[in-house]
Amino acid sequence: MLSMAHERAARNTTISTSLSMGLLIMSSSSPDREDGPTHLTYRFSSSVNQVPGTQNVRSICAQAFQRWAQVTSFTFEEVPATTAADITIGFHRGNHGDGSAFDGPRGTFAHANPPRGGNFHYDADERWSSNPGPNEVDLESVAVHEIGHLNLLGLNHNPDLPAAIMYPYFDYGITKRDLHRDDIDGIRALYGL
Interface pick for Zn ion out of 87, 121, 144, 147 (rule CB under 5 A): 121
Residue 178 sits in the site that holds Zn ion (CB under 5 A): no
Residue 98 sits in the site that holds Zn ion (CB under 5 A): yes
Q: Which is nearer to Zn ion, 16 or 133 (CB)?
A: 16
Q: Name the minimum Å distance from CB 18 to Zn ion.
A: 6
Q: Which is nearer to Zn ion, 43 or 121 (CB)?
A: 121
Q: Name the minimum Å distance from CB 149 to Zn ion.
A: 6
CA distance 83 to 129: 27
> Helix, strand, or coil here: 23?
helix
Task: Supply the residues annotated as catalytic.
Answer: 146
Residue 176 sits in the site that holds Zn ion (CB under 5 A): no
Residues near Zn ion (CB under 5 A), total: 4
CA distance 123 to 144: 15
**Binding window for Zn ion (CB under 5 A); candidates: 58-66, 120-128, 132-140, 175-183:** 120-128
Number of Cβ within a 10 Å radius of residue 23: 13
Residue 11 sits in the site that holds Zn ion (CB under 5 A): no
> Helix, strand, or coil here: 137?
strand
CA distance 85 to 90: 13
Q: Name the minimum Å distance from CB 148 to Zn ion.
A: 7
Number of Cβ within a 10 Å radius of residue 55: 12
Over its C-alpha atoms, the chain yields an Rg (Å, rounded) of: 15
Q: Which is nearer to Zn ion, 11 or 121 (CB)?
A: 121
What lies within 8 Å, CB to CB, of 45 at 6+ separation is: 81, 88, 89, 90
CA distance 37 to 142: 24
Q: Which is nearer to Zn ion, 77 or 98 (CB)?
A: 98
List residues binding Zn ion (CB under 5 A). 1, 98, 100, 121
